[in-house]
Structure 1
Amino acid sequence: MSNSDENWDLEIVPNTGLFDINWRELWQYRDLILLFVRRDLVATYKQTILGPLWFFIQPMLTTFMYVIIFGNMAQISTDGSPKILFYLGGITIWNYFQECLIKTSETFIANQNLFGKVYFPRLATPISIVISSLFKFLIQFSLFLITWLYFLFHKTPGVIPNITILLFPFYLILMSGLGFSFGILISSLTTRYRDLRFVISFGIQLLMYATPIVYPLEIASEKYKWLLLLNPVTSIVEAFRYAFTGHGNISCYNLLYSILFMIISLFLSVIIFNRVEKTFMDKI
């Protein structure tokens, strides 16, 4: 029988161009993505004593520490918002961005054995990380929501929600897009420059202090405020706080900058990721 008479259920051919990304194939592997999501959720706190309770314990302990150190000892302003709500809100949305970035940045290194044994769209792995991180975020956000409702019910000064709260899902999409794009870009670079793995955690800490998590943007001097606004995460955190408390710096221009930054970085990082995955197994 000639080759022309052979009928195959699946034919795997190499992609040759930078823009050859099979989005349809990625959708066909959606069950695998959900399997990865389940794996990430189960494996995170497997064989731990407190299990999923760590989702609540971590932000609570961090918030109390920030209240003591930055709120009481350093006397840093919270722009009129209750200290617990101010720090908890910043920590909650920052943790989601940080989780997406760090976990996706380990895509190639953490899954090199799996990538070498079976074929599937490599983008399925970082996408599953963003989804599983979203579940963790929603758990922590419920803690923030309970705290927010407590202050709102008691009509605490400094808690004045507004109509922009409806944009909360949009802010979440921006955060996930930035974390995803930065993460897969770093993951692509670490296949060639392995020492980048050692500066990720350090760089994340620096980026956190360049984001108004433990301080409001308003206390920054005009001389340095523009530098903070170069960070695309800054305007999202400020808009998030403004939506729930009425305090914060919200600007359509700054949000537009974050949107454009996310779109461009996502476009470039997916292209680079697509190029690296073709030769990844030859480099390790």
Structure 2
Amino acid sequence: MVDFKELWRYKDLLYFLTLRGIKARYAQSILGVSWAIIVPLFTTLVFTIVFGNLAKVDSDGMPYILFSYLALWPWNYFSGTLTESANSLVQNANMITKVYFPRMVLPLSAILSKLLDFTIAFVVLLGMLIYFGQVPGWGILFLPILLIQLLMCSLGIGMFLSALAVKYRDVKHALTFLVQLLLYAAPVVYSTSAVPEQYQSLYVLNPMVGVIEGFRAAFLARPMPWEWIWPGSIVAVVVFVFGMFYFRRMERIFADVA
């Protein structure tokens, strides 16, 4: 079982590892944290030109730039945390072999360090909402639920991949391909309503489907798509529990194979 009291006792280590992760990401960088604005903004512009203007992808009546940015905002956090957390144990092998601490602190710090980028990207979203005259609806009150679902899914998969990467170094190479593949398995450049109805019951099991569509509904004053959110939330809980217990099961061999 996971000892949450022990994790709490090491909260200072979690804080410093999170801070170290933020500093390391932007160390010796000319633009610094501006990359947290540049990457999602320019990706959104490319998607708007290619999918919104050229391919004429339906955006459910929303401005396509808002439609895609509200998807890329949580998606970039999800994909970034997968990469950071999956490599967290391998990159800190020296710590694992020399001193004891709850190993779960490493993928958890990787998840938390990406919250800075997530917050900065939110500032850009506010500017876009003001520009387009969009006022969030009451659905914004359910945003914490979507954030919890996003965090649980990210941490669950991150813990599983980080434990797997210690034993199988192929994970590092396969992860780039996996993230690109998952991008098109989520409604980032298209709407969930564009998926054929006979496949939607299976499609909504992807936790990111409910998160992305929920973000769009919350900030664009649309009804919350609970029929797309609750199936993914159940899967997110299962993924989180499975990833946590798999991590704990593999934890005893980390120092031997790191």
Is TM (by shorter chain) over 0.5? yes
Match of 2:14 among 33, 45, 48: 33
How far 1:228 sits from its partner (Å)? 2.3
Q: Distance in 1 between matches of 2:135 and 2:51?
A: 23
The residue number in structure 2 matching 1:140 is: 121
Which residues of structure 1 form unaligned runs of 5+?
A: 1-18, 153-158
Match of 1:172 among 147, 172, 178: 147
Q: 1:231 and 2:206 equivalent?
A: yes
Q: TM-score, normalised by structure 2?
A: 0.94
How far 1:26 sits from its partner (Å)? 1.0
Q: 1:79 and 2:54 equivalent?
A: no
Q: Secondary structure at the match of 2:98?
A: coil
Encode CA deviations 1:201-220: one digit per residue, 9 max, x unaligned.
11111111010001111122
Match of 1:193 among 163, 168, 174: 168
How far 1:271 sits from its partner (Å)? 1.1
Please tell me whether Structure 1 or Structure 2 has the larger radius of gyration of its CA atoms: 1
Match of 2:238 among 257, 264, 268: 264
The residue number in structure 2 matching 1:58 is: 39
The residue number in structure 1 matching 2:137 is: 162
Encode CA deviations 1:100-128: one digit per residue, 9 max, x unaligned.
22211112211111111111111111111
Q: Distance in 1 between matches of 2:174 and 2:34?
A: 29
Paired residues of 1:216 and 1:248 also in contact (CA < 8 A)? no
How far 1:55 sits from its partner (Å)? 1.0
Higher helix share: 2
Paired residues of 2:204 and 2:229 also in contact (CA < 8 A)? no
Identity of aligned residues (%): 34
Which residues of structure 2 form unaligned runs of 5+?
A: none
Q: Distance in 2 between matches of 1:113 and 1:24?
A: 25
The aligned length equals 258
Paired residues of 1:104 and 1:184 also in contact (CA < 8 A)? yes
The residue number in structure 1 matching 2:251 is: 277
C-alpha change, 1:233 and 1:248, in structure 2 (3 Å) is: farther
The residue number in structure 2 matching 1:155 is: none
Corresponding letter in the other structure for 2:188: I
Q: Secondary structure at the match of 2:187?
A: coil
Encode CA deviations 1:63-99: one digit per residue, 9 max, x unaligned.
1101111111111111111121111111111111112
The residue number in structure 1 matching 2:77 is: 96
Corresponding letter in the other structure for 2:244: V
Residue pairs, 1:212-227, within 5 angstroms:
212-227=187-202
Encode CA deviations 1:21-69: one digit per residue, 9 max, x unaligned.
3211211111111101110111101111111111111111101101111
Match of 2:215 among 233, 240, 243: 240
Q: Secondary structure at the match of 1:191?
A: helix
Match of 1:109 among 90, 95, 98: 90
What is the RMSD of the two structures over their aligned residues, measured on CA atoms? Answer: 1.6
Corresponding letter in the other structure for 1:109: V
How far 1:247 sits from its partner (Å)? 4.8
Encode CA deviations 1:169-207: one digit per residue, 9 max, x unaligned.
221111111011001101112222221221111111111
**Please, which moves more after superposition, 26-35 or 274-283?**
274-283
Q: Distance in 1 between matches of 2:172 and 2:32?
A: 27
Paired residues of 2:218 and 2:224 also in contact (CA < 8 A)? no
